Structure 1
Amino acid sequence: MSDSNEENNNSFVNKTKKRKKTGRMREVMKKMRVATHEPGNDCRCKRLKCFDRISSKQRVKLLKDFNSMKGTDDQNLYLCGLMNVCSIKRRRSRKIDEMDANFHQTHFTYKVRVIENDDTKEVPVCCKAFLSIFGITKGKLEHLQKSLKITGTAPSDKRGKSNSNKRLDINIKNLICNHIKSFKGRSSHYSLNDTIKEYLPEDLNIKKMYKLYLDANESQNHVCYETYRTIFNTEFNISFGYPRTDTCSTCDEFTIKAKALRAEGNTVELNRLSILNNLHKKKSQTFYDRKKNARMKSKRDVEFQAIAMDYQKNVSLPNITTNDVYYKRQLSMYSFNVHALGDASSYFYTYPETCGRKGSDEVVSFLFHYLTNHLDSRIKHLEIYCDSAGGQNKNYTVIRFIHFVVHKMKLLDSIKITYPVRGHSYLECDKNMGLINLKTHMEVPYQWYDLLRVSRQRPKPFEVIEVGIGELIRKFSEFFQNQ
């Protein structure tokens, strides 16, 4: 007896679950149909035979034209134009008490405009066919009917036009703005155009600033986080994270001198310094323009390639939070980045300080490896963009190597190297290095290699080359001697 009861209960539960699931799916499909104005089912009208008089091609055309209308107001106006309001006589109620009866005062007829033989004609349809053809709901139709009864016109869309009186007090808004202004930011030194955008420290975010605001203004009216965030995003042009730590010494010198000259009122000397500073910035902009043109040319010309190269900041291992690490001698990891401007491929030559230094010999060794292993054989012309570091890039060794590659090896027809104005050498290499999280827990060199491989996935992951710099220089020297 108990087993049969359990089976009945289980079957009842299963049927209930199935019924609920079906109901949910019906509601989901209904909402989807309403949102996209999809056509409904056949009305099966025996009196007007709507779907027999209107072909499927005509119904598709009607729905397509209806969905192509701009905004809800145009759709409402179009639908109301297809509806006619007819007054009817009051019918006698079947109820005993006529005061409790609901009498219909109006009656609606519906029609659609179809094209047959290049002529437009109006075809009367029933209510179900009207809903099905335009993919609207009964509630939408009742809303249109109510507007036609009361005002005689189509209803207007009032969404987003609410005149709410719940506005933020101007004193509270000023308090929030003053709190945001109290954080000291800095401008980007490497921005190509003049901008007022400021950068706050990377360890800050809007939530932390909001908590600090609440702590500093406990006696004031409570302000929600969304209000604080909205004011931060709309009233200020602020981002988090300093773009670079080093700045141009010439620009810094001009800023200091200009501040002193303004205080003294010496406009003549201030104008002279302003002209020199503008000339300095024009020269730096020329470097970026050349690099931009080279990038575009390398994407079009299969025989041309442009690269940027630079050393990364030294990374000390082990990189852990233990205090004793700061008092111990750590292993420095060197990384040399070669970035191809044409296809955004990037190569990191990484080695510990026990294998080599960061001089011109290492730079030409990496360039030689890149040219012979990674550069497309169809390339005939190469442009190199790098900073003016005398011990690494701007020296006799690099120039002699370029001459050797072109005139002795005949690997390329020409190589052009461009050095920027000192202090304005922001390259794609700096962007690549900015993607690497230097705060990651690392103890041994292979963890540093793994971190580089996963730091960038788009457009292409970094290719890490673990080099023994002594062996690489030896192979290059042997090849140089054989030539």
Structure 2
Amino acid sequence: MSTPQANSPFTVSTNPSTPASIKSRKCKQRKDKGNIRRRHEKEWIDSKRKINRNLGKDYTSRNGTQRAAKKMGARCPSTCRMKWSTKISEEQRQHIFDSFWSLGDRTKQWEYLAQFALRQTKRRIYTDRESKRKYTIKYHLPSNTHEGLDILQPIEVCKKMFLGTFSVSEQLIYTSIDKKNKTTGISVADQRGKHGNQRRTITNEVIESVCNHIKSLKPVESHYTRKDSDKLYLDGSLTYRRLFELYNEWDGLNAYTCKAQTERQYHDIANDNFKLCFHIPKKDQCDQCHVYKNLENPSTQESEKYSRHIQNKTQTRQMKSKDKQEAQASNGKIVTASFDFQKILNAPHGEIGVLYYKRKLSVFNFTVYSLGEKEGTCFMWQESQGRRGANEVASCLLDFIKRNS
């Protein structure tokens, strides 16, 4: 629809329909405000699986197999030669079982088992040929032998009694003994996944390259809450995927021998060193409504004030709707209009990578929308021609009134 030209060289016509670039977005509550999609390793499926496994709880393996929770095994039979079943009660065994699996850490469990499974040099040879077995393992269970005192005394038991009480395999016993340091008596930490031979590592040079690339994009500070926020903002058309593409096309990347290999690496480095956000158009929220919604126990006076506020809002919308209907029925004799500023536009703007590194010029767009004719008029100017003050707004409204009078 055609629109009268205003005094600004940037005046353009708008369509009453909502632009495709501005869509309704549902704001999701993040656990780390200010950093977009920081990874939460404890909430990963593999991490939860590992935690449940170390705690002896039921879990589902990677191939989909359901693993049952650990249960204490049976004690040795009454036919046992040493009669170990009579030296420790079921309550004590259950307490030992619960204490062991409540540790929830494989290294601590190794230390626990190595404390009561002692390896000794074998003393007897029962075969004529050379035997591969060089050691004998003595198994013990902690038991409170002093009544009224919290003193634990190890009691020797057979292998079946020991494995059944802890509900572990024989291989885990051998591993815990091998992990125990002969000098300090402390078990070596679990080194699975910590071998240091990963193909993709993040070095200081990689971090420096990502940080310098983000700085080259010239992120801007918050315009309204600068004193209360340390966030940096980039163009709303950017995403982390697009940032990683620009990173690979960046001319300054030639100065580094190592670079971020994946988008995930780039994302993690950016989150650890910056609080980046992208300009996303949002609807303005009422300050009074926002304050009232955050009150846990509003007083009677605050509730009455909020009710009057909602009532005034409803009446205002009804008046606006009435004026709109009168304007539509008057055939141009009555003009009803609403106006507001769009968010600051940055120029130059485009999808070409080199434009993201240019110094941006702020462009203001003041839009007046005629509700009766369903026609919008945009008054645009850049920051060297004027600001966003009362004089500029009054000039735009005066021009609009003159052209529709």
The TM-score, its normalising length taken from structure 1, stands at 0.41
Higher helix share: 1
The TM-score, its normalising length taken from structure 2, stands at 0.48
